[in-house]
Chains A and B, each alone.
Chain A
């Protein structure tokens, strides 16, 4: 079997993780730009991060037979200062044509503030201007429901992006229908303590179907599991789901969405 993990932050993971993912059947990953756990002190810090994502990490992944791709943006946790964020956004177009850059992401909201929303709108416009796919981060925990609604409204206000070219990530039971009913793609993130467990993700698949839905680990520098996708595959298998359904959610669906970029390669 083979699978795609369409959201994982490998700059925070070890070569052991690459090794174990490859053994479990991972053939391709996509890595959105995110918060490093601290606020970068200058736009140059982001420039270096974008080089890491577009130059260094693909080589590390290739050593394990995994095709690496990425998304670029300023994440919402560092978007509270609009002037700073705009300096960072100005750096992004230089990287968009590089091999393996699939689009703009993970943009979104964190605490649902006015400044976060302003920068989200400006990055939606950036994606529209450059005809890029969009990967969206939705807020955590108590902020998720409100943030998901604000994000959907912001994309619809822009009006120039096909919802079928937008993946809204980290959906859970209370937000998945909001996202799918508007024609967007939805991602379920499998996390040990927050977001979805493999069992709850399987429940959501049984309730919502497999159309425009994928699973990812979003493994990063915190408590997370880079093998979460194969563990969800196992959960579905032990319930008796077919290989076709399991492959749809963990391979064919990410392949279908990501191939719209023209740059995605699952090997």
Chain B
């Protein structure tokens, strides 16, 4: 297995500014959402829960963020409701439905 060849200082030197900018993007996205009108849907709550994982002092944050957005049911669904995925699994009782769930690009995003 090829371990990461960089030490912590090198990781900071190589990636800090890039990920500082990405963190600001996350913050600005949440601010933008708060400023917008309307009700939104379940995805923002899943997103907020996933953000909490970033602050945990534990390994494999990326895997746990992926799992936070995932469908954990086991059985196949009766019929496909469309082709697209919206990025987060709705809770059993959802407050809203993404409006673009019926279309997708080849990449699985909810809207072209």
Contact = CB atoms under 8 A, between A and B. Distances in A.
B107 interface: yes
B66 interface: yes
A194 to B, nearest CB: 5
A interface residue count range (under 10 / 10 to 19 / 20 to 34 / 35 or more):
35 or more
A182 B78 CA distance: 27
B5 interface: yes
A122 B60 CA distance: 36
Contacts of A220: 106-107
Contacts of A207: 1
Interface in A184-199: 191, 193-195, 199
A37 to B, nearest CB: 6
B96 to A, nearest CB: 16
Interface stretch (A55-63, A85-93, A144-152): A144-152
A200 B62 contact: yes
A113 B78 contact: yes
A149 B73 CA distance: 11
A193 B86 CA distance: 13
Contact of B74 (A117, A146, A173, A203): A146
Contacts of B112: 222
A139 interface: yes
A145 B107 contact: no
A235 to B, nearest CB: 10
B15 to A, nearest CB: 8
Contacts of B95: none
A202 to B, nearest CB: 8
B77 interface: yes
A222 B107 contact: yes
A221 B5 contact: no
Given A34-B106, A116-B80, A174-B67, A142 B87 contact: yes
Contact of B109 (A113, A139, A193, A242): A193
Contacts of B78: 113-114
Given A37-B106, A112-B76, A194-B107, A172 B66 contact: yes
Contact of B71 (A145, A194, A203): A145
Contact of B83 (A77, A193, A195, A221): A77
B77 A114 contact: yes
Interface string B73-96: 110111111110111110000000
Contacts of A142: 69-71, 85-89
Given A112-B77, A206-B4, 7 more contacts: A110-B108, A139-B85, A142-B69, A143-B85, A146-B74, A194-B107, A210-B1
Interface of B: 1-6, 14-15, 60, 62-63, 66-67, 69-74, 76-83, 85-89, 104-109, 112
6 contacts: A141-B87, A145-B66, A146-B70, A220-B107, A222-B106, A240-B6
